[in-house]
Amino acid sequence: MERRLFIRLIGGGVVTAATVGTLSACSSELPAPALAAWNGPGQPPAPGTDPRHWLLAHAILAPHSHNLQSWLVDLREAGHITLYCDRSRLLPETDPFSRQMMMSQGTFLALLDLAARQLGLRADIELFPQGEFGPTQIDQRPTARISLQPDASLRPDPLFQHIFQRRTNREAYEATAPAADAMATIAASAAAPHTVVGFVGGSQPQLRDQHRQVAMDAWRIELETPRTILESYRYLRVGPAEIAEHRDGISINAPLVRAVTALGLFDRTQAPKPGDSAVAGQIKDFNAKLATTPAFFWLTTQGNTRRIQVQAGQAYARAQLAATAHGLSMQPLSQALQEYPEQAVPYAAIHQLVGAPVTTHTVQMWARLGHAPAVGPAPRRGVQALLLPV
Ligand SMILES: Cc1cc2nc3c(=O)[nH]c(=O)nc-3n(C[C@H](O)[C@H](O)[C@H](O)COP(=O)(O)O)c2cc1C
């Protein structure tokens, strides 16, 4: 795939020959500082000491749309954590109402809760303590205020054990369908108010094909819409220097893409022209992955308030951890769920396929599900980067 991309982007045999020799010296492993957060915070804090950094060191490993890590944390109030959404890290084109941002606040809260239980602490999470945001915009008010209380009756949650293994996996999945007991555990782990989860797999091949087709259509639209592909480019980090500097976004460290970028042939300030061969190649590669995806998972809610969006994010994080516990991978497919006008047809189609009437229900998450080769972790900025000045 890399070679194909390389040739498509570069086109010229001379450049290819001149560059290939240098590529063997490159590694596609991500730079260690970008992954330091995955080493964990070490031993649990001693009783009587402040546990909050330890809790946050787990929460930051949560999935977040585009890996933006739009979390800001205020620790000024002893025994409490106040969480804000970092409004300098939004996706106005692909997430125009910040619905995925709210879900990504929820994923953080879910991991924080698991870590607190591990210490015998009850995390009382008050969502929107100063009131909920309106439906289209978010503002400076906090998304959650968490009060930490010792509670001897609490038991650790087994999902905690999988925080460090969870990955968003964008590889090709094996044909083997997820086992029924795994799907049952995922569904039970994601139980939340107003929420229904569902699956489609090999027992409903026609329906699964329809899911695959909607995902293909939506992905193509996202890549062919100039302002949405440019938004993705803005958070693309190519090569070790960019990855280590930002420690967020979507990392590409494949030698061929690095070479193309270094040669100035991958211009991320311009949307690709219609019919661009690199985009066509990406669509083809992703279609091939979709065509062999054995199952899809979804999570719908009745209603779409900010509270429900955050709760959907909590449910998704738990679902993905439960999948991890069963050796299963997930990759969200957000394109068809996105509210920008070009996605109207896939948006209606996926709602219809999962039985969620658009007037009352929202598909908050839709994901590939299956067994896949292991992948490495994604960068994190670390706890310090999220802390508001004390
Ligand atoms: C609300 C939400 C939407 C997401 N949408 C997508 C998506 O459309 N495609 C994708 O590949 N990953 C998607 N992700 C996964 C993130 O890109 C991923 O969590 C992030 O890159 C960090 O990687 P990690 O999950 O392996 O830690 C989404 C995650 C969340 C929470």
Atom of ligand 1 at shortest range from CA of 170: 11
Q: Render pLDDT for 319-334 as a digit per residue (tens, 0 to 9).
A: 999 999 999 999 999 9
| Average pLDDT of span 217-232 | 98
pLDDT score of 16 more than 80: no
Who wins on pLDDT, 27 or 195? Answer: 195
pLDDT at 261: 94
Whole-number mean pLDDT of the chain? 93
Of ligand 1's listed atoms, the one at least distance from the Cα of 375 is 26
170 within ligand 1 shell (Cβ under 6 A): yes
Tell how far the Cα of 11 is from the centroid of ligand 1, in angstroms: 32
Give the model confidence (pLDDT) of 90-138 as tens digits.
999 999 999 999 999 999 999 999 999 999 999 999 999 999 999 999 9
Ligand 1 atom 29 nearest Cα: 65
The one-letter amino acid at 139 = D
DSSP 272: P
Ligand 1 contact via 138 beta carbon (within 6 Å): no
Does residue 378 surpass a pLDDT of 90?
yes
pLDDT grade for 51, boundaries at 50, 70 and 90? very high
The pLDDT value given to residue 26: 64
pLDDT for 47: 86
Pocket test residue of 30, 38, 60, 65 for ligand 1, highest count of atoms within 8 A of CB = 65
Of all atoms in ligand 1, which is nearest to the CA of residue 249? 21
What pLDDT digit, counting tens, does each position of 175-187 carry?
999 999 999 999 9
For 311, the enclosing helix (H) or strand (E) is helix 306-325
Residue closest via CA to ligand 1's atom 13 equals 332
The pair of structure tokens assigned to 236 is: 């693309």
Token duo for residue 182: 């795994």
* Mean local confidence (pLDDT), 270-282: 94
Find the mean pLDDT for residues 216-227. 98
What pLDDT is attached to residue 25? 53
pLDDT band at 7 (very low <50, low <70, confident <90, very high): very low
Q: Determine if ligand 1 sits within 6 Å of the CB of residue 104.
A: yes
Q: How far is the CA of 57 from the centre of ligand 1 (A)?
A: 19
User: Which range (23-37, 40-54, 69-83, 177-191) has the least confidence?
Assistant: 23-37
Q: How far is the CA of 296 from the centre of ligand 1 (A)?
A: 15
Name the pairing type of β-strands 250-252 and 236-238. Answer: parallel
User: What's the CA angle centered on 200, arms 196 and 201, to 5 degrees?
Assistant: 150
Name every residue whose Cβ is closer than 8 Å to that of residue 13 and which is 6 or more positions away in sequence. Answer: none
Q: Give residue 4's pLDDT band: very low, low, confident or very high (50, 70, 90).
A: very low
Angle between helices 52-59 and 99-118 (to 10 degrees): 130
89 Cα–ligand 1 center, Å? 15
Averaged pLDDT for residues 240-245: 97
Reply yes or no on whether the pLDDT at 11 is more than 50: no
Distance 338 CA to ligand 1 centre (A): 14
- Residues 158-172 have pLDDT tens digits of 999 999 999 999 999
Does 94 contact ligand 1 (Cβ within 6 A)? no
Q: In the predicted model, is pLDDT for residue 230 greater than 70?
A: yes
Closest residue to atom 30 of ligand 1, CA basis: 65
Q: What is the mean pLDDT of residues 131-150?
A: 98
Q: Which helix (H) or strand (E) holds 123?
A: strand 121-127
Mean pLDDT within 202-214: 97
Pocket flag, ligand 1, residue 64 (CB < 6 Å)? yes
